[in-house]
Structure 1
Amino acid sequence: MSDPGIFNDPGLLHHQKTIQARLDRARVMEQEITDQGRKNIYDVADYHLFFGLHFTGNAWCFREWAPHATAIYIIGDMTRWQLDERFCLVSRDSNGIWEGWFDTDTFCHGQHYRLRVLWPGGEGDRIPTAALRVVQDSHTLIFNAQVWQPWNTYAWKNSSFIPSDEPLLIYEAHVGMAQEEGRVGTYREFEDHILPRVADAGYNTLQLMAVQEHPYYGSFGYHVSSFFAPSSRFGTPEELKSLVDAAHGLGIRVIMDLIHSHAVKNEVEGLGAFDGTSHQFFHKGQRGIHKLWDSRCFDYDKNQVIKFLLSNCRYWLEKFKMDGFRFDGVTSMLFLDHGIGRAFTSYADYYRKGEVDGAALGYLFLANRIIHDISPRAITIAEEVSGYPGIAAPQALGGTGFDYRFAMGVPDYWIRLLKEFKDELWPLGSLWYELNARREDEKSISYAESHDQALVGDQTLFMRLMGENIYHGMWGTRPDIKTLRALSLHKMIRLITLATAGDGYLNFMGNEFGHPEWIDFPGAHNQWSYHYARRQWSLRDNPDLYFSRLADFDRAMINGLKSFNIPGDGRAQLCYHHEDHKMIAFFRGKLLFVFNFHTDSSYTNYLIPVPPGRYGMLLDTDEKAFGGQGRLSRGQVHFTTPSTVPGDIDNHFLSLYLPTRTAVVLLSSH
C-alpha cells in the first residue's frame, strides 16, 4: 500500500488490512491468468480471437470451450441443418477446448449456423460463445450465428480521433427506441437523424445502451446472450462502426453499457447451460442465480471466465473503437447478496468478512487495468449504488481504478423531493448536501434523471411535475399555473444538478425537452405495441410547444456552462442560503448561481454576499425563449455595493431582482 492514508481518507485506516487483502487477491488473479507473469494481461484477453469461427486466409478454423461436452457439431445452412461428421469438432486437450479446420469454400458470408452440443445424458443446440454476429429469424424468431466475412472491411474515416478534455456531458441513448415511428430504429437512422441532435445540443459523449446482443428486446439490453455480437436488430457491425465513426467526426466520444454483472439465463441463445452444466460460466446452485433479475451470475473465480470478460473489453475497444464503458450492476457484482435491500451506513458495511465477492472485485481491478492499457484516454464508469469506497479511486491509491462513478443518490433525492415534500417545504440544506456528497478522491457524474426514471413503474421529472396536464397544457400561447410551475422547476432542477456536478453530467434522450411518455417496450402486456418505445422528436421541433423551449434551454445551459469547464472546475462554494426564503447561491469557478425556489415570493433588491466586482448575466431560466415569463432583462450587468453596516469594510453585496422559481447565472470579474 503506497500511502497509509488510503484514498486520502483516514477513516479507512481501520480497514486497511481488508483492503490490502482484496488488492492482493486481484494481483494473484492476474498472476494466475498470465501464467505467473510469463504472458501479459493483454495477450491472455484473446478469447474472441482464439474461439469462434475465423478465416485464416487459407482455411477456416472453429474453436469452442465446452468442458462437459462429449461431442460438438456445427450445423447450419452448410449442412442443411443436419449432423454431418465432416463438421464434427475434435477435442483438443483436457481443458475442454474443441477445434475444427475446414477448407476455404466450406463457409461463406451470410450463412447461418449454430452448434449441436452433446453431453452425458443429453444434447442441445447452442450459439457459439464467441459469436461475432447473431441474427433472429423474423418468422420463427429463432436466433442463429451468422458467418460474417464481408469482402470490404469498414474503412475508418476518423481513426485518429482524440476526445476533448472538456468535462463529460453524456447523452444516454437507446438506438432502437430513438426514432419516432413505432418500430425498432437502426444504427444508420441514429447516425443520420439523432447524432446531429446530440451535437447541436452540446453533449460531447454518447452513451449507447443495448449494444450487446440480447434475445428479449424489452430487457433494455441488460439480459445479454452473445457478448461479442453487436445487436443485429439495429443493423450490421459495419453500420455500428459507421455510427461510432460519425460521432468521432463530430467530436463526440462513444461509450457503451457493458454488462458483465450477469447474463441472460437462456440456454440455446445464451450461456445458460452451454455444455450441459449450469456452472460452466456461472456459480453452482443458488449462488449462480440472480433472483431479482432472473438471470445468471458469473463465477469470477474461474480463469476462463475472467479471460472471456477481459477479452470482451478488448474486443469493443479495438474492433469498434469504443471510447470506454459504463459498467452496469457493479453493486450486484461486489456483494454476495447483490446489495439487495441493504442500507450502507458505515464503512463496516463494506468490509465485513464473507460479504464481498473478492474475485468480482479483482476482475473489476483487472478490467480497468486492461482498458486503460489499451486506450489510456478510454473512460470507465461504475454504476455502483452502495457507495463502496475507492471504486473510482486510482489503483495506485488502492482503488479499483474506475475513472468515474455515478452519483446515484442525486436522482433518487429529486424524486423524493417531488413525492414527499410540498414545494414550499423543500429542505434546501439537505438538497445542497445531497448534490455535493461525494468523495474527494473519486470523480463522479451527476444527473437529475436517467433511463431508470423514465421506465414504466416510475416517472420522469417532467411527468411528475405536469401529470395529465402534459397532454394539453404545453401550447406556448396558453400557459397555466401548473405548466409554468413545471417548466420552471424542470429547468432549475437540471441547472442546479449540472452546476454542482462533480466531474460529469448525464441526460437520457428526450428528457432534455420533457418527453411526455414513459418507456415501455413491446410485450404481451401491451399487445406488442411500440407506442411507448420511441421518442417524439416532433414535439421538440414544434416551436409552438413548450417542449421546444425546454430543449432550447438545455442547449443554452450545456453549451454555456461547458465553456467555463463546468462540471469539473473544483467544488461548488456555497455563499448564501436562506431556508425560509427558499434561496440558495453558490460559486463554481467564476460563475455565480442564484436560485429562488420560493413558490410565490419574488424578491426585489435581494442582497447576496459576494466578492466585490462586476457581475454580468449569462443565463436566466425565466427567459421567454425558454418558456419563462420574461421578468428579467437580458444581459444585465450588476456591480457590488459595500456593506452599509458601520465598520464593516470587508463585505460586499449584489442587489438582485429574483422572481419566484427562477435561477440566474452571473459571470464575475473581480
Structure 2
Amino acid sequence: MTARPPSRKSPSPTEPTAAATARSAREAKTKARKGNTAPGARASGASRGVGAARELAPEDRERLLSGGHHDPHALLGARVGRSGVELRVLRPYAKTVTVIAKGLRAKLSADGDGLFSGVLPMRTAPDYRLLVTYAAEGGEQEVEVHDPYRFLPALGDLDLHLIGEGRHEELWRALGAHPMVHEGVSGTRFTVWAPNARGVQVLGDFSYWDGTGHPMRSLGATGVWELFVPGVGAGALYKFRIMRPDGSSTVRADPMARQAEVPPATASVITESHHVWRDEEWMAHRGDRPVHESPLSVYELHLPSWRAGLTYRQLADQLPRYVKDLGFTHVEFMPVSEHPFGGSWGYQVTGFYAPTSRMGSPDDFRHLVDALHRAGIGVIMDWVPAHFPRDDWALAEFDGRPLYEHPDPARAAHPDWGTLEFDYGRKEVRNFLVANAVYWCEQFHIDGIRVDAVASMLYLDYSRGPGQWSPNEHGGRENLDAVAFLQEMNATVYRRCPGVVTIAEESTAWDGVTRATHHVGPGGFGGLGFGLKWNMGWMHDSLGYVGHEPVHRKFHHHEMTFSMVYAYSENYVLPISHDEVVHGKRSLVSKMPGDWWQQRANHRAYLGFMWAHPGKQLLFMGQEFAQGAEWSEGHGPDWWLLDPSYAAEADHRGVRLLVRDLNAVYAALPALWERDTDPGGFAWVEGNAADDNVFAFLRYDTAGEPLLAVSNFSPVVRHDYRLGVPEEFAAWVEVLNTDAALYGGGGVVSPDPRKAQPIGAHGRPMSLEVTLPPLATVWLRPE
C-alpha cells in the first residue's frame, strides 16, 4: 500500500521526506556525471533470477513520465511473455525496488527516472508486493506496498455505459474518490471525467503532491480516467494533474469531491460516511400530503453567520430548538455547497458535491439535518446550477478546453456575475447537475431544492443586449437546452425522492414553471415541473406599497391587490428573502415609514397580511425580531437586540412573539394553506377601499370553514367598520391581532365575539362591525 504521512507537515515513518528523495535524485545525477549509470539508461546487470526486461520505446517513456500517456497500465505492472513475467514499476526517487511474491524475492533493475523492471522466472503473473527503499536522513527507509498497476479497473461497464449516455443518476458512486476493497486490497479508486486530456495523474499528500508515480488510465470514449491506489483512505488530500491538448498541464480539484479542504485551501478530501440516520419517522411521512396542500412556513438563514463561529454539530444543538419555538415548518439554507469566497454567500460554487468544510465534515452536516428532522422541521437548500466561477483550480476549462461551460464564449460568459454558465446541451454536464440534485436529497435527506437564478438560465438574451446573443433554432430567445435540463432534473428528483419539493426562483412570467413536464402550455413548451415558485411580483409590489407613507398609499392600493390576478397561475411561495435586506435595500422594518412605533406596527401588519395571503411564506433571519440593520455575512443577525439588558428589547421580542403566533395559528387553521392553489379557497370582501388603506378577504379550507383577514394600513383606528361575511356563521372571534400589547402594539383588540348582523355589505346579506386598529392586521374566524 502507499503510505500516507501522518500530517501534511510531517513525513511518514515509512516514506522518505521530499528533501531526502530530492537529494537521492541529485546523487543519482552526480553518479551519472562520474561515469555511472546515466539517468534514463538501464543499470548494468539484473538481480539473480531476474532477467532483463525490454526497454520502453522513447516516446512511451516520455509520455509516461510527463503524465501524457493514456494507458500507463499497458507499460507498468506484470505481463506474461515468452521468457517469463515481465514486471515494470514506477517509483520516483526510489533507490531499489524488490518484488515479493510466494516463493520469490527478486530485486528489479533500475532503469532511471524512477522506473524499475525485470523478467521473473514464472509462467503466470504472481500476487506480488513491492519492497521499496528510499534514501533518507540517517540511512534508508523501506516500505512494503502494493503496485497500483497490477489491478483491473475498479469501475464497471454499466457505470461507463450510463456515464456515456448521460443517464447515471447516481454519478457520485462512479466518479470521484471512493475508499474501497478491490481485489482483496484496501485503497481508494480515483475516477475523473476529462475527455480532452492527453493524460491525467492523481496526486496528493500521500505522494508528497507529486503525481509522476500515479498516472491514470483512460477508460475509452466516455472520457473517464481511473486508477486504484492501494493503501490510501479517508482523510487523504488529493487533486488531479491534467495534461491539456496543447501539452501544458493544470492541477485541479475533483469536480465530484464529496469533501473539500477548508477555504482558502483548495484540495479535495477523500471521505466516507459513517453517519447513522435517526429520522426514519420523518422520512416515512414527509410525503404524506402534497406540499401545495400543506402548511409551509420557511425560515431562511445563512448557516455560517446565523450564529457566527458555530460548527454543524453546535448548530444542531441550537437551531432546531429556535426554529421549533418560532413554529416554522422548514428552514432554507443559503447554499451549503463548497465555495471559495465567503462573500459570495455560497452562490459561486466550486464543489457541487461537497458541503462547505467551514463548519465541519459531510457527516457533521448530516447530523444537523438529522437533528432538524427529529425536531419535526424540514430542510430546504439553495442550489446553484446557473453558473460557476472561473477559478483556475476548479471547473473552468477543466481539461484544457470548455467542458462544463458552453463552447461559445458569448454563451459561456455570464454577463452579471463574471462567472461561466453551464453547457446544458451536453449530456454529461446535464448528468452532472441532475445527479447532483438527487445526491443532496438521497445522501443528506434534503427535503427541498430551491433553484437559484432560473430566469438567467431560461433566456438566451438574459442581461444581454442586441448583438450579444443568438436565437435558438426556432428563432426565439428561450434556452431550449436549459428548459430540457430543468425538466429532466425535476422529473428525476420527484421520481426518485418522494416527499421532496423543488422550488424555482424565477422572476419573469415564464409560463408553466410549476406545471407538470408532460403538460404543454400555450407557448408550446411542457411545464418545467417545479413544485413551487417564488412570487417575486408579489414581493416587489407589496414592499413598494408599504414603503410609502400612509397618506400616499391610496395611490398605490392596487399594488397590493394585483397579485390575486395571477395568484393561481403557479404554486407560489411569498418570499421576504436575504436579497431584500442587503445592498442598501434596508431591513424589512427599516423599509417602513414613520417613527419607530409606526415602523414596527407596519412591520407587524405586513407580516399578518403576508401570512394570510394565498401562498407559502418565507422570512429571512433577523426579520422575525425586526432587526433594523441590513444583514451582513460578517456578523449575522443582531442578537443583542433580544438581550434583556437592552432598553428596547421588548420591542424586538414582541415582533418575535408575533411571528411565533402567526405560525401557530397558521398551522392550526387549514383555511390558510389547504387551498393555496385553488381559486375557490379565496374571496375578496373589500379590495377597493383605497381611501381607507384597508384590505379584507376570506380564506376557506376544504370543508368550507372560513377565516377573515383584515389589514388596516392607515395610522388611525377605524371603529365599526362594516364587512360582509358568509351568512351561515353567526358570530366571529379574533384569533390574531397584530396590535396586541404583547406584540408591542397599542392594544386595540376585541376579545369578545362579534355577532353577524342581517345588514347587507360587499354583496353579502350578513355583515360584521369590527374595530380596526391602526397599522394592524386582524384575523377572525367563526366562533
Whether the aligned pair in 1 keeps the contact of 2:299 and 2:620 (CA below 8 Å) is yes
Q: Does 1:292 align with 2:416?
A: yes
Identify if the C-alpha distance between structure 1 residues 136 and 563 changes in structure 2 by more than 3 Å, giving closer, same or farther.
same
Which residue of structure 2 lines up, in the alignment, with residue 535 of structure 1?
Answer: 637
Identify if the C-alpha distance between structure 1 residues 415 and 143 changes in structure 2 by more than 3 Å, giving closer, same or farther.
same
Which residue of structure 1 lines up, in the alignment, with residue 782 of structure 2?
Answer: 668
Whether the aligned pair in 1 keeps the contact of 2:387 and 2:422 (CA below 8 Å) is yes
CA distance in 2, matches of 1:159, 1:224: 31
Give per-residue Cα distances to partners, 1:516-561, cap 9 Å, x unaligned: 221234xxxxxxxx3xx31223423548431110000111111112
Stretches of structure 1 lacking an aligned partner (at least 5 in a row): 1-33, 343-348, 467-480, 522-529
Identify if the C-alpha distance between structure 1 residues 341 and 554 changes in structure 2 by more than 3 Å, giving closer, same or farther.
farther
Give per-residue Cα distances to partners, 1:303-333, cap 9 Å, x unaligned: 1011111110121111111112001111111
Residue 458 of structure 2 aligns to which amino acid in structure 1? L
Q: Name which of structure 1's ranges 413-422 and 360-369 shifts more when overlaid on structure 2.
A: 413-422
- 1:45-64 equivalences under 5 Å are 45-58=169-182, 59-64=187-192
Which residue of structure 2 lines up, in the alignment, with residue 459 of structure 1?
Answer: 586
CA distance in 2, matches of 1:129, 1:351: 31
Whether the aligned pair in 1 keeps the contact of 2:164 and 2:428 (CA below 8 Å) is no
- How many correspondences in the alignment? 587
Identify if the C-alpha distance between structure 1 residues 427 and 374 changes in structure 2 by more than 3 Å, giving closer, same or farther.
farther
What SS class does the counterpart of residue 95 from structure 1 fall into? Answer: coil
CA distance in 2, matches of 1:289, 1:541: 47
Whether the aligned pair in 1 keeps the contact of 2:582 and 2:630 (CA below 8 Å) is yes
Which residue of structure 1 lines up, in the alignment, with residue 15 of structure 2?
Answer: none
Percent identity of paired positions between Structure 1 and Structure 2: 26
Residue 574 of structure 2 aligns to which amino acid in structure 1? S
Give the C-alpha shift of residue 45 in structure 1: 1.7
Q: Does 1:636 align with 2:752?
A: yes
1:200 to 295, 316, 325: 325
CA distance in 1, matches of 2:479, 2:734: 51
CA distance in 1, matches of 2:667, 2:566: 21
Give the C-alpha shift of residue 136 in structure 1: 2.8
Q: Which has the higher contact order (CA 8 A, sep 6+)?
A: 1
Whether the aligned pair in 1 keeps the contact of 2:545 and 2:560 (CA below 8 Å) is no
Give per-residue Cα distances to partners, 1:410-457, cap 9 Å, x unaligned: 22123323556654434464133333243535211113x210012223
Q: Does 1:360 align with 2:482?
A: yes
CA distance in 2, matches of 1:653, 1:243: 50
Which residue of structure 2 lines up, in the alignment, with residue 605 of structure 1?
Answer: 720
Q: Name which of structure 1's ranges 45-54 and 127-136 shifts more when overlaid on structure 2.
A: 45-54
Instruction: Please identify the structure whose Cα radius of gyration is greater.
Output: 2
Give per-residue Cα distances to partners, 1:396-419, cap 9 Å, x unaligned: 423121111110112212332355
- 1:71-90 equivalences under 5 Å are 71-85=199-213, 87-90=214-217
RMSD of aligned Cα (Å): 2.8
CA distance in 2, matches of 1:200, 1:63: 46
What SS class does the counterpart of residue 558 from structure 2 fall into? Answer: helix
Give the C-alpha shift of residue 572 in structure 1: 2.9
Which residue of structure 1 lines up, in the alignment, with residue 373 of structure 2?
Answer: 248
What SS class does the counterpart of residue 143 from structure 1 fall into? Answer: coil
Identify if the C-alpha distance between structure 1 residues 84 and 41 changes in structure 2 by more than 3 Å, giving closer, same or farther.
closer
Q: Does 1:432 align with 2:582?
A: no
What SS class does the counterpart of residue 723 from structure 2 fall into? Answer: strand
Which residue of structure 2 lines up, in the alignment, with residue 406 of structure 1?
Answer: 534
Residue 215 of structure 2 aligns to which amino acid in structure 1? C
Give the C-alpha shift of residue 567 in structure 1: 2.9
Identify if the C-alpha distance between structure 1 residues 42 and 114 changes in structure 2 by more than 3 Å, giving closer, same or farther.
closer
Whether the aligned pair in 2 keeps the contact of 1:500 and 1:567 (CA below 8 Å) is no
- 1:96-245 equivalences under 5 Å are 96-103=223-230, 105=231, 107-119=232-244, 120-136=246-262, 141-149=264-272, 153-161=274-282, 162-163=285-286, 165=289, 166-179=294-307, 183-245=308-370
Q: Does 1:489 align with 2:489?
A: no
Identify if the C-alpha distance between structure 1 residues 248 and 644 changes in structure 2 by more than 3 Å, giving closer, same or farther.
closer
Which residue of structure 2 lines up, in the alignment, with residue 26 of structure 1?
Answer: none
Identify if the C-alpha distance between structure 1 residues 429 and 41 changes in structure 2 by more than 3 Å, giving closer, same or farther.
farther
Whether the aligned pair in 1 keeps the contact of 2:737 and 2:776 (CA below 8 Å) is yes
Give the C-alpha shift of residue 220 in structure 1: 0.9
Stretches of structure 2 lacking an aligned partner (at least 5 in a row): 1-157, 521-526, 701-705
Q: Name which of structure 1's ranges 87-96 and 310-319 shifts more when overlaid on structure 2.
A: 87-96
1:653 to 755, 767, 775: 767
Give per-residue Cα distances to partners, 1:192-216, cap 9 Å, x unaligned: 1122111111111111112111111
Which residue of structure 1 lines up, in the alignment, with residue 54 of structure 2?
Answer: none
Identify if the C-alpha distance between structure 1 residues 623 and 351 changes in structure 2 by more than 3 Å, giving closer, same or farther.
farther
Q: Does 1:506 align with 2:633?
A: no
Identify if the C-alpha distance between structure 1 residues 453 and 338 changes in structure 2 by more than 3 Å, giving closer, same or farther.
same
**TM-score normalized by structure 2?**
0.71
Give per-residue Cα distances to partners, 1:555-589, cap 9 Å, x unaligned: 11111122112234344311124211222211112
Q: Name which of structure 1's ranges 382-391 and 87-96 shifts more when overlaid on structure 2.
A: 87-96
CA distance in 1, matches of 2:448, 2:262: 28
CA distance in 1, matches of 2:723, 2:619: 31
**TM-score normalized by structure 1?**
0.82
1:573 to 673, 683, 687: 683
Which residue of structure 2 lines up, in the alignment, with residue 517 of structure 1?
Answer: 629
Which residue of structure 1 lines up, in the alignment, with residue 30 of structure 2?
Answer: none
CA distance in 2, matches of 1:516, 1:143: 37
CA distance in 2, matches of 1:380, 1:239: 24
CA distance in 2, matches of 1:40, 1:109: 28
Whether the aligned pair in 2 keeps the contact of 1:428 and 1:584 (CA below 8 Å) is no
What SS class does the counterpart of residue 298 from structure 1 fall into? Answer: coil
2:455 to 331, 355, 368: 331
Q: Does 1:388 align with 2:501?
A: no
Identify if the C-alpha distance between structure 1 residues 506 and 351 changes in structure 2 by more than 3 Å, giving closer, same or farther.
farther
